[in-house]
Amino acid sequence: MTRVNAESATEQRAGKLVVISGPSGAGKTTLLKRLYACAPAPLIVSVSATTRPPRPGERDGVDYHFLLKEEFERRRLRGDFLECCEVYQRGDWYGTLHSEVAPRLAAGKWVVLEIDVQGTLAVLQHYPAAVTIFIRPGSVDELERRLRQRGTESEAALQRRLDVARRELASVDRYRYQVVNDDVDRAVDELCKILSCCGG
Ligand code: 5GP
């Protein structure tokens, strides 16, 4: 576990906001599933909204709130989002709804956001005491191998994800913690320790 930044002086009185990022293919999903089973406090995962179409097996309201672009835009203008942005520069928008976060924090719950780097920076403006964790692959080569193995992307989309990953890896020092996922058991253990030392 590497502690990146000094802890913010601002303490959240109610609940705890945990923001987790990492390149697509860094093994985030596997790690987080394990983390949710062993975390020091029950974690509520915020369901993001997106305009991208569902992948096979994804369910509306569970994996994402899948919105048409017009609906997303309407809600964005209405101020429903804590943060939102276009993630892969191909016209797909992703965003965190206030309704997924604020009421739960107010009720003292622990809320987890799985979002990208630009989203994290926007969230920190509202919640400077958020616990930010960046999950990184062992290397970019390892990331490429995993993405190819997953086989869900065209070559162009895969290259775009790798470009985004390289850019995101350059922003890792904006996070309070970083965890290298080169060994799943150890990485889960580190995540649990981070959450425990944050008040779990
Ligand atoms: P995917 O399309 O593979 O589900 O997600 C692509 C990327 O979108 C991931 O890097 C994920 O972290 C990011 N993402 C998912 N939800 C949100 C969100 O609500 N806000 C932001 N900024 N990024 C998100």
Which residue's C-alpha comes closest to atom 24 of ligand 1? 115
Question: Could you tell me which residues come within 8 angstroms of residue 4 by beta carbon, excluding any fewer than 6 positions away?
Answer: 134, 172, 173, 174, 175, 176, 177, 178
| Residue 87 falls inside a structural domain | yes
| Residue 55 falls inside a structural domain | yes
Residue 24 near ligand 1, beta carbon < 6 Å = yes
Q: Which atom of ligand 1 is nearest to the CA of 96?
A: 19
Residue 46 near ligand 1, beta carbon < 6 Å = no
Which residue's C-alpha comes closest to atom 18 of ligand 1? 95
| Residue 1 falls inside a structural domain | no
**Percent of the chain residues topping a pLDDT of 70:** 91
What is the reported pLDDT for 13?
54
CATH code (residue 50): 3.40.50.300
Contact at 8 Å (CB) between 146 and 39?
Answer: no
What is the reported pLDDT for 24?
77
* Alpha-carbon distances, residue 133 vs 114, 151, 198 (angstroms): 10, 27, 12
**Owning domain of residue 70:** 16-197
Residue 87 near ligand 1, beta carbon < 6 Å = yes
| Residue 10 falls inside a structural domain | no
Q: Candidates 85, 114, 120: which one to mutate for ligand 1, based on the most atoms within 8 Å of Cβ?
A: 114
DSSP 8-state symbol, 11: P
What is the reported pLDDT for 76?
98
What is the reported pLDDT for 58?
95
The more confident residue out of 23 and 96 is: 96
Q: Which atom of ligand 1 is nearest to the CA of 28?
A: 12
| Residue 173 falls inside a structural domain | yes
What is the reported pLDDT for 11?
43
| Residue 6 falls inside a structural domain | no
Q: Which atom of ligand 1 is nearest to the CA of 49?
A: 19
Segment 22-55, tens digit of pLDDT: 987 788 888 999 999 988 888 999 999 999 999 9
Average pLDDT over residues 183-198: 93
What is the reported pLDDT for 89?
63
* Confidence label for 2 from pLDDT (cuts 50, 70 and 90): low
In whole numbers, what is the pLDDT of the chain averaged over residues?
A: 89
What is the reported pLDDT for 199?
58
Segment 131-185, tens digit of pLDDT: 999 999 888 898 899 889 888 788 988 898 898 889 889 999 999 999 999 999 9
Q: Which atom of ligand 1 is nearest to the CA of 164?
A: 10
| Residue 149 falls inside a structural domain | yes
Which sign, positive or negative, has the C-alpha torsion 31, 105, 8, 80?
Answer: positive
Q: How many structural domains compose the chain?
A: 1
Which residue's C-alpha comes closest to atom 11 of ligand 1? 115
* Confidence label for 3 from pLDDT (cuts 50, 70 and 90): low
Segment 104-113, tens digit of pLDDT: 999 999 999 9
| Residue 52 falls inside a structural domain | yes
